[in-house]
Amino acid sequence: MIDEFPADPIISFYGTGAKAYYIRSFKSETKKAKGVKKAVVQKQLPSDDYKKIIEGGWRILRKTHTFKSKLHDVYTEVKNKVALAHHDDKRFIIPNTTKTLPWGHSDIEFYQTDTSLNKKYATDAINDVAEGVFPVKW
């Protein structure tokens, strides 16, 4: 693994999602938020916003100005975009682990059910294997 900060130790790190993070080291400060313009990230997203997302599960919106063109008419457009969000809309986080599944995966229903049911399913499967109902091939 490559050390990206070899001579500059990291003091704090807040990873709020895929491609959205804040790193503070002794010499520098790095802020990234995918889909948000660099100027908005640098000027309108302080480090406290990243911390709020981690601790409280907030959703932070910021206004962005863009140029649009339609039939050779150029105009400006103001959008209110989600700059940082606690919820990952691309992946399902498996409870009590660091593993994820893509939304729509068939196993998500298993993890979203009651934990007592999950234990029952697991013990039933173990008993079925022990009784030879589902023979395991090695």
Whole-prediction pTM: 0.65
Q: What is the pLDDT of residue 41?
A: 92
The mean pLDDT of 48-69, rounded to a whole number, is: 89
Number of domains in the chain: 1
Asked if residue 138 is part of any domain, the answer here is yes
Asked if residue 94 is part of any domain, the answer here is yes
The mean pLDDT of 33-56, rounded to a whole number, is: 90
Q: Which residues contact 80 (CB under 8 A, 6 or more apart)?
A: 61, 62, 63
Q: What is the pLDDT of residue 138?
A: 46
The mean pLDDT of 49-54, rounded to a whole number, is: 89
- Alpha-carbon distance 40 to 33, whole Å? 9
Q: Average per-residue pLDDT in the chain?
A: 82
Domain that holds residue 106: 90-138
